[in-house]
């Protein structure tokens, strides 16, 4: 037999021998200790001894590397090193006959790796989550159990079976599991063998759970039609989602991403965007609101029609015309619109309408309106345009505006009206024939006799002038005339008499004075004969 073949067959042989060996008690050979538990790769010592004082043979049979470290007459101590696996040792001795004793070496080792399989990045609330733990190595397996934990809570405890051992547990994900750390722990319990409890923990894995209602978001305040260049608002909201802060909202119009302002509430999210319709987007467009959470997406869509609708053009052949001129009013809308000119819808239905008129003074300041109607997605939209016509006329000063004959009672309260018309506005002036005194237009209080007379009124504008005569008759007082005459006569008489008396008196005084002066002069002449010539 080749030595290596013997070596290979030896463990099995030793185990068989050990099983056949008689129990201790009357044993001739003994081994101490008979049970050893040691870490893998560790070393231990065994003492083989014989019952007789001087055995002819004493030794240890093992495939492990051994070294005799001490001995007595009937004993030997061997050191076994680098023990990698469980094995059986056999001590033998020969006293009168050969005998044997066996010892068991049990190797223990903590697992080489404990790993919790990756969790799904997002786990829907209410759905089953399977945790998987893989354990490589670790012995003795009978003493090794695998635990799955949520935080500190033990979810499952199972023996480690197979190599590698795989352990699974299923839990239903809850909102409270969001952010929870799951881990896998192995326990190698060697306490029954007088050793300790060895624990190994996997790297923790954090779970993210989410809830997204399948009903989808609500698209609100979206107008059905938007004019090119006009701004409209789009808003979208969704309730009952978890965790709301993690939710994303996207708003799109016709595939164009809108710049949305997103706000998160408790279990709710909403987004708002304002959008301007562009010419390229003219037509029916889809508005999409998508809410993304976890690995899922829900969306709502609505249709919006982008339209362009230029206001109709309203033109007057001339904005300012002379009275009696023909004016053409033209209302022109964009193709596809229906116009209404000055309240009259075009018939047959058309984007054009025309109106001809002979401008009269009454048409000055008249406003023409042109309204165009466009059908967009079932809605009738309108746009208007107005123009004002100015008619040049006048000046006009006729009986209606300036009465030719006024007859008033003297002293009564009257108002004199005279107005000239025209565009441009004429200037009016009225003067009395002869004196040129102005006509007292406006309130007269009271009417005086001197107002009576014939006046000539002239209305002048850039378009010419017209004149008109105005007569004012003032009827004098009837009853008080006699009294006035008497009073005036009396005053005149009294005045005349008074004046006469005064004049006579004064003449008399002057005569007397002159006489006196003459007498004085005569006296001086007598005293001074050579008077100077002054
Ligand atoms: C080995 O065992 C024998 C018999 O039990 C004993 O007499 C001896 O002292 C032991 N040797 C050692 C080193 O313990
Ligand atoms: C899970 O672990 C992470 C880091 O490892 C920690 O920040 C977090 O607080 C833990 N979560 C819980 C619920 O303990
Ligand atoms: C397992 O735990 C032991 C201590 O209990 C440690 O020495 C060993 O390195 C651990 N094994 C792994 C794979 O982490
Ligand atoms: C417009 O009306 C005026 C007065 O009614 C008339 O004299 C004139 O001929 C008319 N002009 C036209 C173009 O019909
Ligand atoms: C109105 O007039 C402008 C300028 O003449 C023109 O560009 C526009 O197309 C017209 N609009 C319609 C509705 O005809
Ligand atoms: C436009 O005109 C129509 C009638 O012609 C009127 O009902 C509507 O109110 C007007 N719209 C505007 C904005 O002026
Ligand atoms: C004004 O009345 C007088 C008589 O009262 C009449 O003779 C004259 O013709 C009238 N003038 C006008 C302009 O009506």
Looking at the CA of 76, which ligand is closest?
A: 1
Do residue 13 and residue 67 come from a single domain?
yes
Q: Would you place residue 323 in the very low, low, confident or very high pLDDT band (cuts 50, 70, 90)? A: very high
Burial (0-12, 13-18, 19+ Cβ within 10 Å), 191 = exposed
Do residue 68 and residue 81 come from a single domain?
yes
Cis before 511 (ω within 30) = no
pLDDT tens per residue across span 360-370: 999 999 999 99
User: CB neighbours (10 Å) of residue 38?
Assistant: 15
236: in domain: yes
How far separated are the first and last CA of the chain, in Å rounded? 204
Question: Tell me, what's the pLDDT at 506?
Answer: 77
| CA dist., res. 244 & res. 206, Å (int) | 18
Q: Which of 15-29, 38-52, 282-296 has the lowest mean pLDDT?
A: 15-29
Q: Is 308 in the pocket of ligand 5 (CB under 6 A)?
A: no
Three-state secondary-structure class, residue 7 = helix
For residues 471 and 404, is the Cβ–Cβ distance under 8 A?
yes
Question: In the listed set 392, 422, 445, which residue is the last one of a domain according to the structure?
Answer: 392
Q: What percent of the chain has pLDDT over 90?
A: 62
Segments forming the whole domain that contains residue 75:
3-108
Do residue 76 and residue 11 come from a single domain?
yes
Q: Would you place residue 528 in the very low, low, confident or very high pLDDT band (cuts 50, 70, 90)? A: very low
Nearest residue by C-alpha to atom 3 in ligand 5: 313
| CA dist., res. 114 & res. 182, Å (int) | 13
Do residue 438 and residue 374 come from a single domain?
no
Do residue 302 and residue 349 come from a single domain?
no
Phi, psi of 206 (to 5 degrees): -95, 135
* Mean of pLDDT values over 406-411: 90
Looking at the CA of 351, which ligand is closest?
A: 5
Question: In the listed set 244, 276, 306, which residue is the last one of a domain according to the structure?
Answer: 306
Q: Would you place residue 103 in the very low, low, confident or very high pLDDT band (cuts 50, 70, 90)? A: very high
Do residue 295 and residue 352 come from a single domain?
no
534: in domain: no
Place of tokens 């299923």: 170
178: in domain: yes
pLDDT for residue 525 is more than 70: no
Domains contained in the chain, number: 5
pLDDT for residue 255 is more than 80: yes
Token digits for 391? Answer: 């008619």
Token digits for 185? Answer: 């722990």
Question: Tell me, what's the pLDDT at 54?
Answer: 85
Q: Is 334 in the pocket of ligand 5 (CB under 6 A)?
A: yes
Tell me the range of 17-26, 426-435, 475-484 where mean pLDDT is highest: 426-435
| CA dist., res. 181 & res. 124, Å (int) | 16
What pTM was computed for the model? 0.61
Nearest residue by C-alpha to atom 8 in ligand 1: 75
530: in domain: no
Do residue 18 and residue 102 come from a single domain?
yes
Question: In the listed set 210, 235, 269, which residue is the last one of a domain according to the structure?
Answer: 210
Report the separation in Å between the CA atom of 435 and the middle of ligand 5, taken as the mean of its atom positions.
Answer: 62
Helices and strands in the chain, H and E counts: 2, 41
Q: Which of 254-263, 358-367, 436-445, 453-462 has the lowest mean pLDDT?
A: 436-445
CATH number for the domain harbouring residue 354: 2.60.40.10
532: in domain: no
List Cβ neighbours of 104 (8 Å cut-off, separation of 6 or more). Answer: 34, 35, 36, 86, 87, 88, 89
183: in domain: yes
Do residue 299 and residue 251 come from a single domain?
yes
pLDDT for residue 299 is more than 80: yes
147: in domain: yes
Do residue 14 and residue 92 come from a single domain?
yes
Q: What is the mean pLDDT of the chain?
A: 87
Question: Tell me, what's the pLDDT at 513?
Answer: 58
């Amino acid at each position: 037999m080749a030595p290596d073949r013997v070596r290979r067959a030896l463990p099995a042989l030793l185990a068989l021998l050990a099983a056949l060996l008689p129990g201790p008690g009357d044993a001739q050979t003994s081994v101490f200790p008979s049970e050893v538990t040691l870490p893998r790769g560790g070393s231990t010592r065994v003492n083989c001894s014989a019952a007789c004082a001087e055995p002819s043979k004493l030794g240890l049979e093992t495939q492990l590397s051994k070294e005799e470290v001490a001995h007595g007459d009937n004993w030997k101590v061997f050191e076994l090193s680098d023990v990698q696996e469980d094995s059986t040792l056999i001590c033998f001795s020969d006293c009168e006959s050969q005998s044997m004793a066996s010892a068991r070496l049990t190797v223990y080792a903590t697992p080489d790796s404990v790993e919790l399989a990756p969790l799904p990045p997002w786990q829907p609330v209410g759905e089953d989550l399977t945790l998987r733990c893989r354990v490589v190595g670790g012995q003795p397996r009978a003493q090794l159990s695998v635990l799955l934990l949520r935080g500190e809570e033990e979810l499952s405890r199972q023996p480690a079976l197979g190599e590698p051992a795989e352990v699974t547990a299923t839990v239903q994900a809850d909102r409270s599991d969001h952010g929870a750390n799951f881990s896998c722990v192995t326990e190698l319990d060697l306490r029954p063998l007088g050793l300790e409890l060895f624990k190994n923990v996997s790297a923790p894995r954090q779970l993210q759970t989410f809830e997204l209602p399948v009903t989808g978001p609500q698209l609100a305040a979206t107008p059905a039609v938007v004019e090119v260049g006009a701004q409209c608002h789009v808003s979208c909201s969704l309730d009952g989602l978890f965790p709301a802060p993690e939710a994303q909202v996207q708003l799109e119009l016709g595939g164009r991403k809108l710049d949305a302002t997103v706000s998160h509430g408790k279990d709710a999210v909403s987004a708002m965007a304002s959008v301007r319709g562009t010419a390229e987007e003219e037509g029916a467009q889809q508005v999409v609101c998508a809410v993304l959470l976890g690995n899922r997406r829900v969306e709502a869509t609505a249709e919006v029609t982008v339209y362009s609708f230029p206001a109709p053009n309203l033109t007057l052949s001339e904005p300012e015309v002379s009275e009696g001129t023909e004016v053409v009013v033209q209302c022109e809308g964009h193709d596809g619109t229906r116009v209404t000119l000055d309240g009259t819808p075009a018939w047959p239905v058309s984007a054009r309408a025309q109106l001809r008129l002979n401008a009269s003074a009454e048409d000055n300041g008249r406003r023409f309106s042109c309204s165009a109607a466009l059908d967009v997605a079932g809605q009738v939209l309108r746009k208007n345009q107005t123009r004002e016509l100015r008619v040049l006329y006048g000046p006009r000063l006729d009986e209606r505006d300036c009465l030719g004959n006024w007859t008033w009672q003297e002293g009564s309260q009257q108002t004199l009206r005279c107005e000239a018309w025209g565009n441009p506005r004429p200037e009016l002036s009225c003067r009395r024939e002869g004196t040129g005194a102005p006509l007292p237009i406006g309130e007269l209080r009271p009417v005086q006799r001197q107002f009576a007379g014939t006046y000539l009124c002239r209305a002048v504008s850039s378009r010419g002038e017209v004149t008109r005569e105005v007569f004012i008759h003032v009827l004098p007082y009837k009853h008080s005339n006699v009294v006035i005459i008497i009073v005036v006569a009396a005053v005149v008489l009294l005045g005349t008499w008074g004046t006469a008396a005064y004049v006579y008196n004064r003449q008399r005084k002057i005569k007397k004075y002159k006489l006196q002066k003459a007498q004085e002069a005569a006296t001086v002449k007598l005293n001074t004969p050579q008077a100077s010539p002054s």
